[in-house]
Amino acid sequence: MSAQVEIGAVTADEALTAEGFDRALRGVLDKEVSIYPARAWYPSSLGHPCDRFLVWNFTRWQDKARHDAVLQSIFDEGREHQPLIYKRLEQMGFEIIRESDRPTQYKVKGGAVISGRPDGRLAGFRGEKYKPTPILEAKTMSSFQWDKTHTIDDLKHSPYPWTRSYYAQGHLYCFLENTPAGLFVLKNKTTGMLKCLPYELDYAFAESLLTRIERDLAPMVAQGVDPDPIPFDPIVCGGCAFEAQCYPPRDFGPGTQILEDPALVEQLEERERLKPVAKEYEELDKTVKTILKRNGIKVAIAGPFQIELTERAVKAYSVPERTDLVVKITRQG
């Protein structure tokens, strides 16, 4: 190619290489990263387990670390799913009142302001109207998390704080909109399939979130008080933007990186859950195959299983010296 046209810090030729393409993409995503002070409380974050994180978003937002391009891409993916879910629901026959362009400012007891907008409302289905109209919350999940989420309680008791925040968000919107019920529609990020989690407003839970603002969080913001840190939790604290300022400091040793990818954390949790099952499978597989080989079976039927043993020559070879990377993963806590 002849022309060397600059694309940010990447030339046209470089943009066709893996390294240049990645640099151009990360440059775009980095420009989307913004840090700004919180001016209201948000339903999407009020389920967060750490008071210090919520208060510091008001009082120490300048100290917040910028998240990386990968996490920004994850945020963008979360926003892009919503039109697809709207479209599929409408194809199914739902009549949807879509998310408003501007957030609503809800004033609650004590003068605090909650700012937000539900993803929408369900007005009806195939000509039949809903009265009142349920709150609609649309979320995307990784495939393995989607597979094990079946009821609203699965959101409430999820091991992941960002998923538990969905539960808080849905109930807060029902409370603030004076609506007795809502519906989560969850999209499988891998297959695109949808599932729904209907729920009725848990008044006591929603009121506890508002009490948390009125009694604990808002006074600390007004007085500039730093909340006490929570006990260190790798899932909550490991990728926190305030980790460098939070005390007591957590020292993992020189060269340790903090990975901020929530999807990776979910995959590591799922890996941990499957570990005993995988070990049991390997042991049972080895036992069954040993029995079949010892009995000299060639072809057999056992219930619904067809069994065939064949011979395969194994060539001798030597492995040259090399250095391999060994990955050791252990769960803390």
Span 265-269, average pLDDT: 77
Per-residue pLDDT, 93: 97
Contact 165, 184 (CB under 8 A): no
Q: How confident is the model at residue 150 (pLDDT cuts 50, 70, 90)?
A: very high
Q: Are residues 207 and 103 in the same domain?
A: yes
Residues 66 and 187 placed together within one structural domain of the fold: yes
Instruction: Give the confidence band of 215 by pLDDT, cuts at 50, 70, 90.
Output: very high
Report how far residue 125's alpha carbon sits from residue 130's, in angstroms, rounded to the nearest whole number: 8
Residue 231 domain-assigned?
no
Q: Looking at the structure, do residues 111 and 206 belong to the same domain, yes or no?
A: yes
16: containing domain:
1-32
Tell me which H or E stretch contains 142: none
Query: Within a domain: residue 169?
Result: yes
Q: What is the pLDDT of residue 5?
A: 42
pLDDT grade for 249, boundaries at 50, 70 and 90: low
What confidence category does residue 250 fall into, taking pLDDT thresholds of 50, 70 and 90?
low
Kindly state the average pLDDT of the residues 315-322.
75
Question: Does a structural domain hold residue 254?
Answer: no
161 — phi, psi (to 5°)? Answer: -65, -30
pLDDT tens digits for range 166-193: 999 999 999 999 999 999 999 998 899 9
Q: Is residue 125 part of a domain?
A: yes
- DSSP annotation string for 28-65: HHHHH-------SB-TTTTT-S-HHHHHHHHHSGGGPP
Does residue 163 lie in a domain region? yes
Tokens of 5: 């046209």
Q: Kindly state whether residues 140 and 286 are assigned to the same domain.
A: no
The mean pLDDT value of the chain amounts to 85
Dump pLDDT digits (tens) for 30-86.
888 888 898 899 999 999 999 999 999 999 999 998 888 888 888 887 778 889 999
257 within a domain of the structure (yes/no): no
What is the total count of domains within the chain? 3
Is residue 15 located within the same domain as residue 121? no
Q: Are residues 50 and 196 in the same domain?
A: yes
**CA quadruple 23, 189, 242, 51: dihedral, nearest 10:** 160
Which phi and psi (to 5°) does residue 19 adopt? -70, -45
Segment among 2-16, 95-109, 125-139, 269-283 with least mean pLDDT: 2-16
Do 161 and 218 belong together in one domain? yes
Q: Are residues 214 and 155 in the same domain?
A: yes
Average pLDDT (277-296) is 83
Q: Which residues fall within 8 angstroms of residue 162, CB to CB, at 6 or more apart?
A: 262
pLDDT computed for residue 86 by the predictor: 94
Any idea which of 17-31, 203-217, 254-268, 301-315 has the lowest mean pLDDT? 254-268
> Is pLDDT above 90 for 320?
no
Q: Are 174 and 167 in contact (CB under 8 A)?
A: no
Instruction: Write the CATH number for 162.
Output: 3.90.320.10
Cα–Cα nearest to 173, from 211, 143, 202, 145? 202
Question: According to the model, what pLDDT value does residue 251 have?
Answer: 57
**Residue 317 belongs to some domain of the structure:** no
C-alpha span between 309 and 298 (Å, rounded): 5
Amino acid, res. 96: I
> Do 66 and 213 share a domain, yes or no?
yes
Q: Which two tokens stand for residue 116?
A: 């937000």
Look at residue 232 and tell me if it is in a domain: no
Domain boundary pick from 179, 202, 226 = 226
Tens digits of per-residue pLDDT, 4-16?
444 457 888 888 8
Quote the CA–CA distance of 265 and 71 in Å, as a whole number: 12
Judge if 74 and 167 occupy the same domain: yes
Same domain, 114 and 54: yes
Are residues 16 and 96 both part of a single domain? Answer: no
